[in-house]
Amino acid sequence: MATLKTHEPILTADEALQRLIDGNLRFLRGEARFPTVQKEILANLAQGQRPYATILGCSDSRVPPELVFDAGFGELFIVRVAGNVLSPEIGGSLQYAGSHLHTPLFVVLDHSGCGAVQAALENQLHGVIVQDKIR
């Protein structure tokens, strides 16, 4: 089991971009670090998607729905936004899932310790000054 490396140095933007590029190249070569990536499945999914559930989840990097529910590519239609807040864009994505993908199940995935919710509450309840888009 991997351990959380909280004392790892912060990456620069160039280093982070290189990690994304390297990961994508591994993915394209069929050498991804995760065993759920199979070229046959990806080729089949290129024809279309039929996810069995739509999930509205938080953007928090610690709770990826695919891993939380042990789901593979194409099985879940996931909409992620910090704090699970509903906007016209989020609503449109959820409507698309129901109307066009016909997912039979919609789930709002919550988690404890949500930083976005905490920041919004601090602003509303305690007047803590935050950036104007966190409310």
pLDDT at 107: 92
Question: What are the distances in angstroms from CA 106 to CA 54, 62, 101, 112?
Answer: 5, 21, 12, 20
Q: Name residues whose C-beta falls within 8 Å of residue 45's C-beta, 6 or more positions apart in sequence.
A: 73, 74
In a domain, 131, yes or no: no
Percent of residues, the chain, with pLDDT higher than 90: 28
In a domain, 74, yes or no: yes
In a domain, 9, yes or no: no
Identify the domain containing residue 93 by its residue range: 49-110
Question: Does 76 share its domain with 106?
Answer: yes
- Residue whose pair of structure tokens reads 């789930």 in the numeric block: 107
How confident is the model over 47-68, as a mean pLDDT?
Answer: 90
Comparing 85 with 101, the larger pLDDT belongs to 101
Question: Does 66 share its domain with 87?
Answer: yes
Q: How confident is the model at residue 94 (pLDDT cuts 50, 70, 90)?
A: very high
63: domain CATH number is 3.40.1050.10
- The CA distance from 128 to 121, in Å, is 9
Classify residue 70 as left (phi > 0), alpha (psi -120 to 50) or beta.
Answer: left
pLDDT digits (tens, 9 = 90+) for 35-53: 666 778 888 889 999 999 9
Question: Does 44 share its domain with 58?
Answer: no
pLDDT at 1: 44
Q: Indicate which residues carry an active-site annotation.
A: 58, 60, 62, 111, 114
Question: Does 72 share its domain with 100?
Answer: yes
Question: What are the distances in angstroms from CA 118 to CA 82, 83, 126?
Answer: 11, 9, 11
**Average pLDDT of the chain, as a whole number:** 82
Split into its structural domains, the chain has a count of 2
User: Nearest 5°: phi and psi at 37?
Assistant: -85, 110
Question: Does 38 share its domain with 59?
Answer: no
pLDDT at 39: 78
Question: Does 104 share its domain with 53?
Answer: yes
pLDDT at 4: 52
Q: Look at residues 121, 106, 120 and name the one whose alpha carbon lies nearest to residue 65.
A: 106
Question: Does 56 share its domain with 77?
Answer: yes
Q: Does residue 99 carry a pLDDT above 80?
A: yes
